[in-house]
């Protein structure tokens, strides 16, 4: 039976001498790799797995004169595993390469959750991934978190900062008093000092919970509020912008990575950083689209002034000190990493609070 591959090979063979055809076939060595994610490619930190790593790897290998070509198997949207298993899937080689969410790994990747303890530190997605990638490049403690899980990180993923979507306007911080705000538990320290209660919730439930009165509002990123249309139930949008944050990375099983030819390793590492840049670019575009959707729906949009944002940052518990106190007794150099993190942030932006000041 003649299939597409045999037919194409026949055309090639007919157009060149037999010796040249054999040489051309022998010059390409196939490497089979699986790339996967628990989320679909419409998600800003998943799409670049396909549009950058898969789309560019073979052309980059060819440009560099490599004899290798990657034969990709792609499995996105939870086809192989769910969102709770993004690290385990790479560690156990269910996939060779995948998006890994550090936000679900507070015990195994604690240093890579540093952004949750440092709100109002970064100002752009590019700065956020730049800081995390720099720390992963230079700090053994950061690298060890990955290698202990048999993983190599290629590039940090990023999202925009948190904002408030509420049923009544938030003109001053005291307006939060008594409000029930739906959100991830990690955001509770951002709001509880101002009298709000954070009701733990997940993205799929938020719309109905707003509709039924379980929550008076939600603290969430644009990547959640926009596609889920949460602004339909909470039409007062307060652009708090706690700062873009990283919460994971594109990564690869370390044993598989070490088995690859060096030129393939170099291409994947290079594309890992392009992945970070592409993710940051999508977040910037998404933020603009989201604001347009809010305006079109008739939402009231208020940008929180920097003075209020600074008051909010300074009104929180000392999250940096708590980060260190929780990790240092376990032998994790959280204090050193936090100081280096804040130093990089100060060199590339203007943090509203120095979370390393009291350590």
pLDDT tens for each residue of 93-119: 999 999 999 999 999 999 999 999 999
Question: Across the strands, what pairs with 248?
Answer: 101
Domains along the chain with CATH numbers = 29-159+246-286 (3.40.190.170), 163-243+288-324 (3.40.190.170)
Per-residue pLDDT band for 80 (boundaries 50, 70, 90) equals very high
Per-residue pLDDT band for 13 (boundaries 50, 70, 90) equals very low
Integer Cα distance of 107 and 116 in angstroms: 14
Helix axis angle, 262-297 to 55-63, nearest 10°: 140
- Helix H or strand E segment including 154: strand 151-159
pLDDT digits (tens, 9 = 90+) for 190-247: 999 999 999 999 888 999 999 999 999 999 999 999 999 999 999 999 999 999 999 9
pLDDT recorded at residue 28: 79
CB of 86 closer than 8 Å to CB of 310 = no
CB of 250 closer than 8 Å to CB of 100 = yes
| Percent over 90 (pLDDT), the chain | 90
Residue pointed to by tokens 């979507």: 165
pLDDT recorded at residue 8: 41
pLDDT recorded at residue 27: 55
- Helix H or strand E segment including 25: helix 18-27
């Amino acid at each position: 039976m003649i299939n597409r591959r045999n037919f194409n090979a026949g055309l090639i063979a007919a157009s060149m001498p037999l010796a040249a055809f054999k040489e051309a076939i022998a010059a390409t060595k196939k490497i089979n790799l699986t790339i996967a994610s628990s989320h679909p490619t419409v998600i800003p930190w998943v799409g670049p797995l396909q549009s950058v790593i898969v789309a560019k790897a073979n052309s980059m290998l060819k440009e560099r004169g490599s004899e290798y070509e990657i034969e990709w198997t792609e499995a996105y949207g939870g086809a192989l595993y769910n969102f709770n298993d993004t690290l385990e899937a790479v560690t156990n080689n269910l996939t060779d390469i995948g998006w890994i969410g550090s936000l679900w790994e507070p015990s195994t990747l604690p240093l890579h959750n540093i952004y949750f303890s440092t709100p109002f530190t970064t100002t752009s997605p590019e700065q956020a991934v730049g800081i995390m990638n720099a720390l992963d490049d230079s700090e053994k403690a950061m690298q060890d978190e990955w290698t202990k899980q048999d993983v190599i990180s290629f590039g940090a993923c990023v999202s925009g900062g948190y904002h408030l979507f509420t049923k009544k306007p938030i003109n001053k911080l005291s307006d939060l008093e008594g409000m029930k705000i739906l959100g991830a538990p990690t955001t509770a320290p951002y709001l509880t000092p101002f009298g709000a209660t954070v009701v733990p919730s997940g993205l799929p439930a938020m719309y109905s919970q707003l509709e039924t009165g379980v929550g008076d509002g939600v603290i969430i990123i644009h990547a959640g509020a926009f596609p889920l249309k949460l602004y339909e139930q909470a039409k007062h949008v307060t652009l708090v912008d706690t700062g873009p944050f990283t919460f994971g990375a594109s990564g690869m099983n370390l044993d598989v990575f070490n088995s690859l030819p060096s030129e393939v390793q170099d291409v994947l590492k290079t594309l890992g950083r392009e992945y970070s840049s592409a993710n940051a670019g999508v977040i910037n575009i998404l933020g603009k689209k989201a604001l347009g959707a809010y305006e079109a729906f008739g939402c009231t949009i208020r940008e929180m002034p920097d003075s209020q944002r600074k008051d909010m940052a300074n009104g929180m518990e000392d999250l940096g000190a708590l980060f260190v106190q929780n990790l240092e007794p376990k032998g994790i150099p959280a204090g050193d990493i936090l100081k280096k993190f804040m130093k990089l942030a100060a060199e590339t932006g203007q943090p509203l609070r120095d979370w390393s000041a009291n350590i």
